[in-house]
Structure 1
Amino acid sequence: MARNCLAVVLAAGEGTRMKSAKSKVLHSVGNLPMIAHVVGAAQAAKVDAVSLVVGRDADAVASAANTGLPISTHEQTERLGTAHAVLAAREAIERGFDDILVVFGDTPLITAETLRNARQSLDDGADVVVIGFRTENPHGYGRLIEEDGELVAIREHKDASEEERKITFCNGGMMAIAGNKALKLLDAVGNENAKGEYYLTDIVGLARENGGTVTAIEASAEEVLGVDTRAGLARVEALWQARKRHDLLMAGVTMRAPETVFLSHDTLIEADAVIEPNVVFGPGATVRSGATIHAFSHIEGATVERGCSVGPFARLRPGASLQAGAKVGNFCEVKNAEIGEGAKVNHLTYVGDAEIGAKANIGAGTITCNYDGFNKHRTTIGEGAFVGSNSSLVAPVTIGAQAYVASGSVITRDVPDEALAFGRAQQANKQGLGKKLRERLQADKERREKAGD
């Protein structure tokens, strides 16, 4: 398709029913603002530029929509209908594009395929292309009335005849318009209606009156779902998650209970990875082939290489990088740290701002003490090192290759390669003192109870 295209994204709605301090298009689906989903679909449909029609939070909306395409913003100061909203982008439309796509910033499930199909219909000779959907319950929707393959009218439910109300092909609101006719059609839209607003749907009749061709294409019902409330946002999130899970399953990822796994827009999981129930992926997570993420783990901004094992109940925070065959076990947390090939961080351990060498073994309850109250410091543990349980490694500190750290140690100085480090107080046993202490504590308790303390 050698045609150029402008996407006009309507994003000026107040979204008062969201009951939110921010514009509704900034609310996220799959940890990505809705506006970014819409612009991303337009970009994948090969549009050349995007015009955002904005209201409040204009700068934030423009920032969230930035995918690398040329973007212009146009403020809609009055809310006088959808055609009026599109005309807010008049300056951009006047630059001259072959195709104009009109989409909504609160429809994050719209696909690039549907937008490409709309553009193709323009290329095939249509002047206006309406994106519709089919539903078994069309009550309240505008009906798309077709004759001989053309769209002849969009009839609102209240104005439709009994026969027309049986039509299940409904208006989804989004359109494609031939660029050389867009402004003429939009300027001809009047506001002679009960609300005194300028409706985009009127260009269907206007185009036909001028001898133009109007067609409709079909999208799935979920693609055109708009979000007006938190309940609607939750519904769209559920549909998006189901779509993303299905794509991963079909790509060869195993999920034991897919409905319990939650993904982000950029989650990358390769074939033959295994994801157990109740795993949450925040933004920036990558899981390579052959890795297993056990139940109740949370992964964000982290990379898990081939053959790794994570969890159950593990948390990988941004900057965590597990090399091939590494293991992070139950109730462990890793942040901004590299776990070397075949290394093990088995359980109840915190590793932050650290580098763990290949085949090192970090015992239960080990802590890299990386923060001094003002600055972060790094811990380096060499290849094949063994750190005993319940050890505290006070950074900055280096544990050498093949070194041992005795259980219960507090390590504040570097440990050379192949050395054995003890960093704990000398144990002393006082014969009989335990009995005396117990008797004294028991007596104190009885005195307090007698005094009513």
Structure 2
Amino acid sequence: MSQRSCLSVILAAGEGTRMKSALPKVLHPVAGRAMVQHVIAAAKEAGIEDVALVIGHGADQVEKVLGAGNHTIHLQEKRLGTANATLAARDAIARGYDDILVLFGDTPLVDPSDLMAARKALSEGASIVVLGFEPENPTGYGRLLVRDGVLEAIREHKDCSPDELKISLCNSGMMAIRGDVALELLEAVENNNVKGEYYLTDLVEIARSKGLNTAVSLASVESALGVNSKIELAEVENIWQRKRRRTLMAAGVSMHAPETVFLSFDTEIGADTTLEPNVFFGPGVRVEDGVIIRAFSHIEGATIARGSEIGPFARLRPGAELAEKVKVGNFCEVKKAVVEKGAKINHLSYIGDAHIGAGSNIGAGTITCNYDGFNKHKTIIGESAFVGSNTSLVAPITLGNGAYVASGSVLTQDVPAGALAFGRARQEIKPERGSFLREKLSKAAAAKKKT
């Protein structure tokens, strides 16, 4: 089977009215990635070389999200059923693949192993292979009518006899077709039904009438789950998150409250890392071994090296690159900044567009003032520097190795290595003036109450 060529036709033209959204249905995200991108990824993992994406509603948006890639775009002008949608990719199908897999852009949990099993059935002599599944409640699903191991027909729920309604094997909608007969079978589908549409399910009986072998390949229930509403989207998200958490914990990641940790499709976390409750990972995060991420931290587009400690209540934004044994503490934000080994940003600080040298200490309330209203500017802090609390560093600015900045400073000029910098007004003390001011303000407040 590994040498058989394969095309995946992914149907993604539906409007998704039940989503109640201006966003095309297949672009709604699961784990930070559009549903249709999950399906494309599953096809690739199953060894499917090429993808033909059939789009319709919101075509421009779908193309923009997917961008360039190893897929072709095909437009379904009018929504006239699943067989009609599949034929929108006629040019791709006609290239002469051994296998054609018809998938759906709203089934983000489809398992690559189920796709591989369907392809295996094709290689063993079937011309049509329908991916079936067995839900707890089959109500509403089309039933697969199998006799002596042969799939004879697909019966829609509303058309089932009482005995057929007892069948638990249901139609997922996904189908594998032998490439050399795909166009012949698709073109034979007629629209003799109430809706006047062309249904992919008719291929089974058409194939049987031509003496071709048809079969069922059993898929998991999760593989077959389609998303048609925001409620179903949330249910699929929960399934994805639960599976991914279990995978990470099995690989050595500790989670105090797994159900409160949210991951993205590409989150990488090393062994012996500990995640406290309510940690959120956006796309593009890589965490090495032995990291501690404390509660209520939000991380996206960041890399965290081994032995570092983050949070609680920390935010790492895209471009944050933390070296080994870095500490980013409570209510700190780091964005587009490199923080070298052993540096500490402990409390209530914002570090953006910066480079922090190894072993440096950033005091509480420190801000890198990186934006002048038009452009971003960089702050560079050398190794083993000390920045006192409540300091504003107005970029562009450089602090040399071992520089020491007094608390409460506003610095606008570079500080040489080993130098001490003050950037604040001189303190003045006026004896008895405090008592005078307190008495004055007290009398004013009393007078205001009387009125």
**Normalising by structure 2, what TM-score?**
0.97
What is residue 233 of structure 2 aligned with on the other side? 233
What is residue 19 of structure 1 aligned with on the other side? 20
How far residue 12 of structure 1 moved from its aligned partner, in angstroms, is 0.9
What is residue 104 of structure 1 aligned with on the other side? 104
2:252 alignment partner AA: G
What is residue 386 of structure 2 aligned with on the other side? 386
How far residue 72 of structure 1 moved from its aligned partner, in angstroms, is 2.1
Q: Give the Cα separation in 1 of the matches to 2:439 and 2:228.
A: 68
- Is 1:264 the equivalent of 2:264? yes
Instruction: Give aligned-pair identity as a percent.
Output: 60
| Worse overlay, 322-331 or 42-51 | 42-51
Q: Give the Cα separation in 2 of the matches to 1:25 and 1:263.
A: 20
| Cα displacement string for residues 370-409 of structure 1 (whole angstroms, at most 9, x for unaligned residues) | 1122221111111111111111111111122122111111
Q: Secondary structure at the match of 1:342?
A: coil
Q: Give the Cα separation in 1 of the matches to 2:301 and 2:87.
A: 41
Q: Give the Cα separation in 2 of the matches to 1:23 and 1:395.
A: 42
What is residue 46 of structure 2 aligned with on the other side? 45
Q: Give the Cα separation in 1 of the matches to 2:189 and 2:373.
A: 64
How far residue 44 of structure 1 moved from its aligned partner, in angstroms, is 1.4
| Worse overlay, 157-166 or 405-414 | 157-166
How far residue 351 of structure 1 moved from its aligned partner, in angstroms, is 0.8
What is residue 68 of structure 1 aligned with on the other side? 69
Which residues of 2 match residues 220-369 of structure 1 at below 5 A? Answer: 220-369=220-369
Q: Give the Cα separation in 2 of the matches to 1:391 and 1:152.
A: 76
Cα 1:24–1:7, aligned 2, differ >3 Å: closer, same or farther? same
Q: Secondary structure at the match of 2:190?
A: coil
Q: Give the Cα separation in 1 of the matches to 2:67 and 2:354.
A: 34
2:11 alignment partner AA: L
Which residues of 2 match residues 122-141 of structure 1 at below 5 A? Answer: 122-141=122-141
Q: Give the Cα separation in 2 of the matches to 1:30 and 1:191.
A: 38
Q: Give the Cα separation in 1 of the matches to 2:324 and 2:10.
A: 44
1:48 alignment partner AA: E
Q: Is the 8 Å Cα contact of residues 36 and 66 (structure 1) preserved in structure 2?
A: no
1:301 alignment partner AA: G
Q: Secondary structure at the match of 2:11?
A: strand
How far residue 176 of structure 1 moved from its aligned partner, in angstroms, is 0.3
Q: Give the Cα separation in 2 of the matches to 1:53 and 1:67.
A: 15
Q: Give the Cα separation in 1 of the matches to 2:282 and 2:34.
A: 14
What is residue 430 of structure 1 aligned with on the other side? 430
| Worse overlay, 86-95 or 123-132 | 86-95
How far residue 341 of structure 1 moved from its aligned partner, in angstroms, is 0.2
| Cα displacement string for residues 192-248 of structure 1 (whole angstroms, at most 9, x for unaligned residues) | 222222111111111111111111111111211111111111111111111221221
Q: Is the 8 Å Cα contact of residues 35 and 61 (structure 1) preserved in structure 2?
A: no
Cα 1:67–1:117, aligned 2, differ >3 Å: closer, same or farther? farther
How far residue 445 of structure 1 moved from its aligned partner, in angstroms, is 2.2
1:60 alignment partner AA: Q
Q: Which runs of 5+ in 1 are unaligned?
A: none
What is residue 374 of structure 1 aligned with on the other side? 374
Q: Give the Cα separation in 2 of the matches to 1:60 and 1:253.
A: 37
What is residue 204 of structure 2 aligned with on the other side? 204
Q: Is the 8 Å Cα contact of residues 52 and 62 (structure 1) preserved in structure 2?
A: no
What is residue 30 of structure 2 aligned with on the other side? 29
Q: Give the Cα separation in 2 of the matches to 1:90 and 1:146.
A: 30
How far residue 88 of structure 1 moved from its aligned partner, in angstroms, is 1.4
Cα 1:132–1:66, aligned 2, differ >3 Å: closer, same or farther? farther
Q: Give the Cα separation in 2 of the matches to 1:26 and 1:135.
A: 26
Q: Give the Cα separation in 2 of the matches to 1:56 and 1:138.
A: 29
- Is 1:405 the equivalent of 2:405? yes
Q: Give the Cα separation in 2 of the matches to 1:151 and 1:247.
A: 35
Q: Give the Cα separation in 2 of the matches to 1:351 and 1:318.
A: 12
Q: Secondary structure at the match of 2:176?
A: strand
Equivalent residue pairs, number: 450
Q: Secondary structure at the match of 1:86?
A: helix
What is residue 183 of structure 2 aligned with on the other side? 183
What is residue 219 of structure 1 aligned with on the other side? 219
Q: Is the 8 Å Cα contact of residues 292 and 307 (structure 1) preserved in structure 2?
A: yes
| Cα displacement string for residues 113-158 of structure 1 (whole angstroms, at most 9, x for unaligned residues) | 1111111111111100001111221112111122222212222222
Q: Is the 8 Å Cα contact of residues 30 and 241 (structure 1) preserved in structure 2?
A: yes
How far residue 65 of structure 1 moved from its aligned partner, in angstroms, is 3.6
Q: Secondary structure at the match of 1:334?
A: strand
- Is 1:8 the equivalent of 2:9? yes
Q: Give the Cα separation in 2 of the matches to 1:397 and 1:52.
A: 50
How far residue 180 of structure 1 moved from its aligned partner, in angstroms, is 0.6
2:308 alignment partner AA: C
Q: Secondary structure at the match of 2:118?
A: helix
How far residue 165 of structure 1 moved from its aligned partner, in angstroms, is 1.8
2:173 alignment partner AA: G
Q: Which runs of 5+ in 2 are unaligned?
A: none
Q: Secondary structure at the match of 1:211?
A: coil
Q: Is the 8 Å Cα contact of residues 39 and 65 (structure 1) preserved in structure 2?
A: no
How far residue 66 of structure 1 moved from its aligned partner, in angstroms, is 4.9
| Cα displacement string for residues 41-99 of structure 1 (whole angstroms, at most 9, x for unaligned residues) | 11112222211111122233234345731x22222122221111111111221121111
What is residue 162 of structure 1 aligned with on the other side? 162
Q: Secondary structure at the match of 1:164?
A: helix
How far residue 291 of structure 1 moved from its aligned partner, in angstroms, is 0.8
2:28 alignment partner AA: H
What is residue 56 of structure 1 aligned with on the other side? 57
**Normalising by structure 1, what TM-score?**
0.96
Q: Give the Cα separation in 1 of the matches to 2:418 and 2:159.
A: 86
